[in-house]
């Protein structure tokens, strides 16, 4: 007599060969889907991102699961092979760490527990004197030079670099950080990280030899879970006024130094003194000197944190978005504002007949009266968190207007600053970011010429009309500009790409016209630092090396 469950028994006892036959299409489809996605992404960008790593991981896990269920070997052997694959993946994650570019692309890989490049550098202990320190008309004394955007007036470049090529004067290793150079006379000053020491270093412009250094025992490290995103070191650029140098380090240490010797005149640790946390990606605001004060973006606690901390203004970080220190003594002259800091620098402008200091904070643009810091007006500017940082500078314009731009999908906007019937200043949009926003400047700033705005819209150089925000042209280049920096010199735009390439482009609204290019820094390192130009000397750097070029002038 037949067993009543004979049929079900035969179905449940299929051989491994039959199971493989039924499911052999699974690994083929999985590999084909992953390969197709990779080829599609490769056509868009040459970098691999976190998504690429995730696709690899999902593919390997999927293949391992299929092999464990349907492989030809014994179950014991299948488990052993899959276990080995899992251990190998885990070992790779423990041993290697990705280094990212501005698009979260994997720029390169490094050993996770190896010493950082700055920790392997020798400390600079120069105690020389800048004996012939003297300001000149060609100086580039602060972040973005002498104006609201990076521009050098009175100079025009030779655009045929085949016939008139830039001449490299020097190249040297440098400590970590995203600071730029400030140039006065024959001296170039920057900030850098070497091991446990955050340095302000003065180099000779024409030779690259260090003259003096100032050292603080401080080290900013975002220690981000995504690996090397952000990297270590100071972010702000020194501000030079006369024979004094003002700096802000990555952890909020503000120094006033003697320009000839680097000796400390006064110093303040703003994060500790005002009870505010260091921003996720480091204190990035360069100092602003206004009359006899130096203005620092300190940043206040957000409302919830301030309410929980108590009532002592200086201990809770309330009312200290901007702090004005006395130039001579470093004493606090005023502190005002309740917005947490972002990553831009304060600037001085005259809008609506009022002398004011403008700063982009987290989610707000705020204007303070220059004399006492009183908040004159505020404008909401894109919600911000650690992954949506505000970096780009606001730009005051004729007609009491203010140009804004930001990355992360926000784009640009133009405001008009007007007085209402009560005499209060208030910002009114002239045009807002469109449905398809333009000029999404992530790490960089724009330049302006003849009513047109030029900037890196994500990784593409673009041109828009200032009055309308209308796009004139946008160029995706190969190799890409990446999240680099730009400068206007005469009628040419100088782009320093994320891979250290100098690209010269005609400043014309008609079309993109590339004039020349030169690999200025090692392409193996990410370059986010702004260039500095004191004709004819262009100084460029990243977190690994610095170089000076003599550019051919017309």
Paired tokens of 199: 């340095």
Neighbour-count burial of 36, counting CB atoms closer than 10 A to its CB (0-12 exposed, 13-18 middle, 19+ buried): exposed
Q: Is the pLDDT of residue 9 over 80?
A: no
- Mean pLDDT score, 364-385: 94
Phi, psi of 359 (to 5 degrees): -140, 140
- Mean pLDDT score, 440-467: 96
Which domain-ending residue is among 111, 144, 164? 111
Q: Write out the E strands in 156-283.
A: 167-173, 182-184, 187-194, 197-204, 210-217, 239-241, 244-248, 253-258, 264-269
Q: Is the pLDDT of residue 78 over 50?
A: yes
- Strands 151-152 vs 485-489: parallel, antiparallel or unpaired: parallel
- Do 128 and 68 fall within a single domain? no
Query: Is the C-alpha dihedral spanning 260, 266, 271, 272 positive or negative?
Result: positive
DSSP string, 342-359: -S---EEEEETTEEEEEE
Q: Is the pLDDT of residue 228 over 60?
A: no
Q: Is the pLDDT of residue 85 over 90?
A: no
**Is residue 199 domain-resident?**
yes
Residues in the chain, total: 554
Per residue in 362-373, pLDDT (tens digit) is 999 999 999 999
* Count of domains forming the chain: 2
Q: Is the pLDDT of residue 1 over 50?
A: no
Strand partners, 367: 358, 377
Element (H, E) at 30: helix 25-44
What do you get for the CA distance between the two ends of the chain, in Å? 106
**Is residue 380 domain-resident?**
yes
- Mean pLDDT score, 68-79: 83
- Of residues 14 and 264, the one with the higher pLDDT is 264
- Mean pLDDT score, 54-74: 84
- Do 316 and 423 fall within a single domain? yes
* pLDDT value for 160: 95
* pLDDT value for 99: 77
- Do 267 and 175 fall within a single domain? yes
**Is residue 35 domain-resident?**
yes
- Do 419 and 541 fall within a single domain? yes
Per-residue pLDDT band at 307 (split at 50, 70, 90):
low
DSSP string, 86-144: HHHHHHHHHHEEEEE-TTSEEEEEEETTSPPHHHHSPPP--B---TT----TT-B-STT
- Mean pLDDT score, 470-490: 95
* pLDDT value for 91: 84
Q: At what angle do helices 50-70 and 16-23 cross, to 10 degrees?
A: 150
CATH number of the structural domain spanning residue 254: 2.140.10.10
Which domain-ending residue is among 70, 91, 111? 111
* pLDDT value for 60: 86
Q: Is the pLDDT of residue 313 over 60?
A: no
* pLDDT value for 11: 45
In terms of Cα–Cα distance, which of 382, 54, 361, 110 is closest to 229? Answer: 110
Q: What distance in Å separates the CA atoms of residue 178 and residue 229, rounded to the nearest whole number?
A: 13
Least confident segment among 100-109, 166-175, 318-327: 100-109
pTM of the model: 0.88
Residue with tokens 């501005």: 102
Structural domain boundaries enclosing 73: 6-111
Strand partners, 465: 452
Query: Is the C-alpha dihedral spanning 243, 249, 253, 254 positive or negative?
Result: positive
* Beta-carbon-side half-sphere exposure of residue 250 (alpha carbons within 13 Å): 29
- Mean pLDDT score, 187-203: 97
Per-residue pLDDT band at 464 (split at 50, 70, 90):
very high
Nearest 5 degrees, angle CA 65-CA 104-CA 345? 155
- Mean pLDDT score, 501-509: 98
Under a CB-based contact definition with an 8 Å cutoff, are residues 508 and 538 in contact? no
**Is residue 524 domain-resident?**
yes
- Do 318 and 406 fall within a single domain? yes
* pLDDT value for 260: 97
Q: What distance in Å separates the CA atoms of residue 290 and residue 197, rounded to the nearest whole number?
A: 29
* SS3 at position 211: strand
- Do 346 and 398 fall within a single domain? yes
* pLDDT value for 6: 46
Q: Is the pLDDT of residue 45 over 80?
A: no
**Is residue 261 domain-resident?**
yes
Sheet holding 354-361, edge to edge: 347-351, 354-361, 364-369, 375-380
**Is residue 332 domain-resident?**
yes
* pLDDT value for 311: 57
- Do 43 and 176 fall within a single domain? no
- Do 285 and 386 fall within a single domain? yes
Under a CB-based contact definition with an 8 Å cutoff, are residues 322 and 357 in contact? yes
In terms of Cα–Cα distance, which of 198, 219, 142, 169 is closest to 393? Answer: 142
* pLDDT value for 31: 85
Which domain-ending residue is among 52, 80, 111? 111
Residue with tokens 């947490």: 340
Under a CB-based contact definition with an 8 Å cutoff, are residues 552 and 158 in contact? yes
* SS3 at position 36: helix
Under a CB-based contact definition with an 8 Å cutoff, are residues 104 and 230 in contact? no
In terms of Cα–Cα distance, which of 379, 359, 382 is closest to 429? Answer: 379
* pLDDT value for 429: 94
Paired tokens of 547: 């170089």
* pLDDT value for 4: 47
**Is residue 449 domain-resident?**
yes
Q: What distance in Å separates the CA atoms of residue 194 and residue 219, rounded to the nearest whole number?
A: 9
Most confident residue range from 70-74, 86-90, 296-300, 477-481: 296-300
Q: What distance in Å separates the CA atoms of residue 386 and residue 280, rounded to the nearest whole number?
A: 6
**Is residue 1 domain-resident?**
no
Preceding amide of 204 cis, omega within 30: no
- Of residues 386 and 327, the one with the higher pLDDT is 327
- Do 283 and 225 fall within a single domain? yes
* pLDDT value for 310: 58
In whole numbers, what is the pLDDT of the chain averaged over residues?
Answer: 89
For residue 330, give Cα distances in angstroms to 265, 266, 270, 359, 518. Answer: 9, 6, 11, 21, 43
* SS3 at position 322: strand
* pLDDT value for 488: 98
DSSP state of 530: P
* pLDDT value for 316: 60
- Do 107 and 142 fall within a single domain? no
- Do 293 and 389 fall within a single domain? yes
* pLDDT value for 13: 53
- Do 137 and 100 fall within a single domain? no
């Amino acid at each position: 007599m037949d067993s009543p469950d004979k049929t079900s028994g035969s179905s449940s006892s299929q051989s491994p060969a039959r199971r493989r036959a039924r499911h052999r299409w699974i690994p083929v489809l999985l590999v084909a889907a992953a390969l197709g996605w990779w080829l599609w992404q490769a056509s868009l960008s040459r970098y691999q991102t976190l998504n690429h790593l995730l696709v690899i991981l999902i593919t390997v896990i999927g293949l391992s699961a299929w092999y464990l269920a349907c492989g030809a070997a014994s179950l014991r052997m299948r488990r052993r092979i899959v276990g080995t694959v899992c251990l190998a993946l885990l070992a790779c994650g423990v041993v290697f760490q990705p280094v990212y570019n501005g698009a979260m692309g994997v720029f390169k890989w490094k050993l996770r527990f190896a010493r950082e490049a700055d920790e392997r550098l020798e400390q600079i202990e120069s105690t020389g004197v800048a004996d012939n320190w003297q300001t000149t008309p060609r100086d580039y004394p602060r972040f973005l030079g002498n104006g609201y955007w990076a521009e050098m007036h009175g100079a025009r470049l030779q655009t045929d670099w085949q016939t008139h090529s830039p001449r490299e004067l020097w190249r040297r290793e440098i400590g970590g950080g995203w600071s730029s150079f400030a140039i006065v006379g024959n001296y170039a000053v920057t900030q850098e990280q070497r091991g446990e020491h955050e340095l302000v270093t003065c180099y000779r412009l024409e030779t690259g030899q260090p003259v003096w250094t100032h050292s603080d025992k401080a080290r900013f490290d975002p220690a981000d879970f995504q690996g090397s995103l952000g990297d270590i070191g100071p972010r702000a650029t020194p501000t030079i006024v006369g024979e004094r140098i003002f700096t802000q380090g990555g952890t909020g240490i503000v120094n006033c130094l003697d320009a000839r010797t680097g000796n400390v005149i006064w110093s303040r640790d703003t994060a500790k003194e005002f009870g505010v946390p260091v921003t996720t990606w480091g204190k990035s605001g360069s100092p602003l000197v206004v009359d006899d004060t130096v203005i620092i973006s300190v940043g206040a606690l957000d409302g919830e944190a301030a309410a929980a901390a108590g009532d002592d203004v200086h201990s809770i970080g309330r009312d200290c978005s901007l702090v004005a220190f006395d130039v001579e003594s470093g004493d606090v002259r005023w502190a005002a504002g309740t917005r947490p800091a972002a990553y831009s620098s304060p600037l001085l402008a005259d809008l609506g007949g009022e002398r004011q200091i403008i700063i982009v904070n987290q989610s707000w643009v705020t204007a303070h009266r220059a004399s006492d810091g009183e908040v004159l007006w505020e404008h909401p500017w894109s919600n911000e968190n650690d992954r949506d940082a505000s970096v780009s500078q606001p730009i005051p314009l004729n007609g009491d207007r203010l140009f804004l731009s930001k990355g992360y999908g926000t784009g640009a906007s133009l405001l008009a600053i007007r007085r209402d019937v009560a005499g209060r200043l208030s910002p009114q949009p002239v045009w807002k970011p469109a449905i398809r926003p333009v000029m999404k400047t992530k790490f960089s700033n724009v330049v302006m010429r003849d009513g047109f705005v030029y900037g890196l819209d994500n990784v593409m150089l673009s041109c828009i009309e200032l009055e309308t925000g209308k796009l004139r042209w946008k160029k995706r280049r190969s190799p890409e500009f990446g999240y680099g920096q730009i400068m206007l010199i005469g009628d040419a735009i100088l782009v320093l790409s994320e891979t250290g390439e100098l690209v010269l482009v005609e400043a014309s609204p008609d079309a993109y016209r590339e004039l020349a290019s030169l690999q200025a820094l090692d392409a193996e390192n990410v370059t986010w630092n702004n260039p500095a130009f004191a004709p004819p000397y262009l100084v460029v750097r990243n977190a690994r090396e610095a170089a000076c070029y003599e550019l051919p002038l017309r």
